[in-house]
Homo-oligomer: A and B are copies of this chain.
């Protein structure tokens, strides 16, 4: 893993116009964050449904909002795809060849190998740079109602260049995220998907499994919950459709992570079953040590 920090931190992003595709939690928060942190930058938003466009107009968070992708991309220097991964392809096909000459494209998808494999050649064919991004910011809440201008502040943002990525595209995309308060980590798409399977997709899947194991047989345990259960399973409140897509897109890495979690649980069961106090203490102490490696939240 490679930490790019020094040159980025000291140079402002100077995008003149940003086009956001998809006005959900991430897209909406992007618009609010750009308004606040880059007030000189125009904000353009594309939504699939016209009711969503009306909502954006009502909220006054964009200079331009439309269901017409080509119109929204017009003149934009930075294009950000914030739709579900399955929608990115059709949107990108509508855009490729119709962007401003200096436009750079990124996305905010949770899985990078399939997205980069699809979009990098697609935009390269019209001479535009694409580099994948994954800001580690979100919420179990969905939709523009939950959008926050400070969603990205203090969050890690993983940027995933390949050996075909133009240095200038990587630089501009990274500077943009730094401007929004992110700390940048760069790594190849495959390494991203492997790490994120474990640090994001695994805890999500296990929060669902734990919620089921805790409450399926006896729902009346729910009011007994303390903050431990509340925090441990918070992400299980996330949108099932969104997470079905993510877990299947990254299934090989997710399955490897789930296998490891099952092996750890099996070990733990054996330790408790034989009442091995010292082994249990070691198991918990090693988990505590690893957990402490995680930087505090924003």
Contacts and interface: CB of A to CB of B under 8 A. Distances in A.
Contact of A200 (B229, B273, B275): B229
A36 interface: no
Contact of A232 (B207, B251, B263): B207
A264 interface: yes
SS class of chain A's interface: helix, strand, loop or mixed? helix
Contacts of A235: 228, 231-232
Contacts of A287: 207-209, 211-212, 236
B205 A268 contact: yes
A167 interface: no
A39 interface: no
Interface in A242-298: 243-244, 247-248, 251, 254-255, 257-266, 268-269, 272-273, 275, 277, 280-281, 283-288, 290-297
A288 B244 CA distance: 13
Given A207-B287, A261-B265, A221 B198 contact: yes
A85 interface: no
A158 interface: yes
Nearest to A235: B228
Nearest to A3: B223
Contacts of A292: 237
Contacts of A195: 218, 220-221, 224
B261 A232 contact: no
B281 A241 contact: yes
Interface in A183-204: 185, 194-196, 198-200, 202-204
A226 interface: yes
A294 B225 contact: yes
A169 to B, nearest CB: 21
Given A211-B291, A216-B290, A225 B199 contact: yes
A93 interface: no
Contacts of A215: 198-199, 290-291, 293
Nearest to A260: B213
Contacts of A254: 272
A240 B198 contact: no
Contacts of A212: 260, 264, 283, 286-287, 290
A66 interface: no
A234 interface: yes
Interface in A135-181: 136-139, 155-156, 158
28 contacts: A1-B220, A136-B225, A136-B226, A136-B227, A185-B223, A198-B213, A198-B214, A198-B215, A199-B214, A200-B229, A203-B214, A203-B228, A209-B264, A209-B265, A211-B287, A212-B283, A215-B293, A222-B290, A222-B295, A228-B234, A231-B231, A232-B232, A232-B235, A233-B291, A236-B287, A238-B288, A240-B285, A259-B269
